[in-house]
Amino acid sequence: MQLLNKPEGSQTMIGASDKSRLTIAEFAKESRIRADSYHRYHIDTIETPDRQALPNRFLVSVGKFGLAKLLMSEVFEYWGKWDVVFARPCTYGVFSGPVGGFSPRPEKCVGCLRCTIEHPEFVTITPNPALASLGDSYLNSKIISTIDEEARKGTVPVRGQGYRGRFGGPGWDGMFTDMSEIVRPSRDGIHGRELISTIVDIGSKPMRLQFDSEGGLVSAGPKMMSIQVPFVFDSPAGSVMTPSLAKIWKAAAEQVDTLALIPGDMVTSNNLASPSVVPIISLDSSETASSFKNGTRLIQLDGWDASAYASISSSNPDLMISIRMSFETGWQGQLNEMIDAGVSVIHFVANNHGEADGDRFIMDIIIEAHEMLLKAGVRDKITLLHSGGVVAADHLPKAIICGLDAVGLDLPLLVAIQARLSGDTSSREDYKAKLPRRFDDKWACQRIVNLTGSWRDQMLEILGAMGIREVRRLRGEMGRAMWCTHLEEEAFSEIEGFIGGGI
């Protein structure tokens, strides 16, 4: 489009060709229609009650004799001032039932300890061991409770107590993000007046464009698709994934506009093929790659085999193919092979504690993989996904800072629909998940949508605080992060006795 001032009466014309020329009034009208039809991406969250509530956070124990004694003494002391006599020490309603403290409501207790400080002789508040026993050392009860709340309300959990997590430690806790742009008002996260995009591209973009002498484009264009959020829904363990769960994954992915990774045979036998579904196919059944219809855009090969990849890509030129690869010792060689073969989407997998390649944490391995692609000069030609070890909203931006394009979620989705996990939860295959007894697909889908809405809002908050206007620009932005070990080293390394290695 170009703006032309033509001396045809008062008519000002706009447009590249005579046919498409518009008057200013027509152009303004079209622009208005275009502006009115603009839809700002938003995830519709709806409060969705529990089907299998978590155990209460605290146990509230009230000595009946002590309480009766207190009531008697208050009746005598404040006779006639019944509001004083019947005042309850808990503003959260734990003692507001018909018989007050004689039958407390521990599900309302937030652990402020006011009651036990005022009446230590007969009130005791203790953490509930049934809650503490949920999960494991990585996906612990605190994270499970947070995911549960995010999936129920679809909002960012705010408790008004500031950050109560760790400052430093193993895993993702060892990284801090730089929020120095927090004062920039136009990018104020979820309330932003200026759009912050969470769109990510899956596929390959050319590193450069080539034109002929006439200015025509001669090099290949991008082969990619975009999804609205920097995460995809990954398939849980084979023993856990069922056709009904796959349908929920698919419905939620379609609603949020992301991708659901589902075993290929399940996609075929349940007719689940869709643009939002990525069938995972084993190397043994690679010949089925072209059988997925209904707009399937991407398939995933479970493992690397150069000849299978070459054969599928030559016989399905319009299909995008991703390779699922575990970070086993020697993964670097396999990554180099995939770079040479022109693989455009690589999906790394670690165990559920984010450990791979011996006992390395995934953070270091992702950085190494990202830097390998940078060195090879192909970073924009390859999309990096990863599953395993991302179980909290703050892990997501940290993983992207390390160099991922998007993250695969599986356990957090199971927790969102209130599955109780057991067995070896560190392993990707050896755990079990017990789902609530009565639930319908709509309920489960909304819980997952709520979780994604909450995690996206938290991503927007971080992007806003960092002054970054889209999540694609966060990828590999390690200059905007700090590592506790580095800071300690810098500050204390010259002090005798310093051993380093983090807290």
Binding site for ligand SF4 (CB under 6 A): 60, 89-90, 92, 94, 109-115, 125
Alpha helix locations (H) across 232-361?
243-256, 264-269, 306-315, 331-341
Shortest Å distance, C-beta 99 to ligand SF4: 15
Shortest Å distance, C-beta 224 to ligand SF4: 51
Shortest Å distance, C-beta 110 to ligand SF4: 5
Shortest Å distance, C-beta 107 to ligand SF4: 10
As a whole number of angstroms, the distance between CA 446 and CA 430 comes to: 27
Nearer to ligand SF4, 63 or 170 (CB): 63
Shortest Å distance, C-beta 100 to ligand SF4: 12
Residue 315 makes CB contacts below 8 A (sequence gap 6+) with 289, 290
As a whole number of angstroms, the distance between CA 264 and CA 299 comes to: 9
Nearer to ligand SF4, 126 or 427 (CB): 126
Nearer to ligand SF4, 110 or 339 (CB): 110
Nearer to ligand SF4, 104 or 264 (CB): 104
Nearer to ligand SF4, 160 or 317 (CB): 160
Sequential DSSP letters for 48-71: ---SSPPPPSEEEEE-HHHHHHHH
- The residue count for the chain: 503
Nearer to ligand SF4, 59 or 339 (CB): 59
Nearer to ligand SF4, 110 or 378 (CB): 110
Residue 270 makes CB contacts below 8 A (sequence gap 6+) with 243, 246, 247
Nearer to ligand SF4, 157 or 168 (CB): 157
Number of neighbouring beta carbons within 10 Å of residue 478: 14
Angle at 444 (CA atoms; ends 273, 138), nearest 5 degrees: 100
Residue 316 makes CB contacts below 8 A (sequence gap 6+) with 289, 290
The H-or-E segment that residue 373 falls in is helix 362-375
Number of neighbouring beta carbons within 10 Å of residue 199: 14
Among 307, 346, 306, 355, residue whose Cα is nearest residue 323: 346
Shortest Å distance, C-beta 66 to ligand SF4: 15
Number of neighbouring beta carbons within 10 Å of residue 93: 13
Shortest Å distance, C-beta 108 to ligand SF4: 7
Shortest Å distance, C-beta 84 to ligand SF4: 17
Check: CB of residue 328 under 8 Å from CB of residue 316. Answer: no
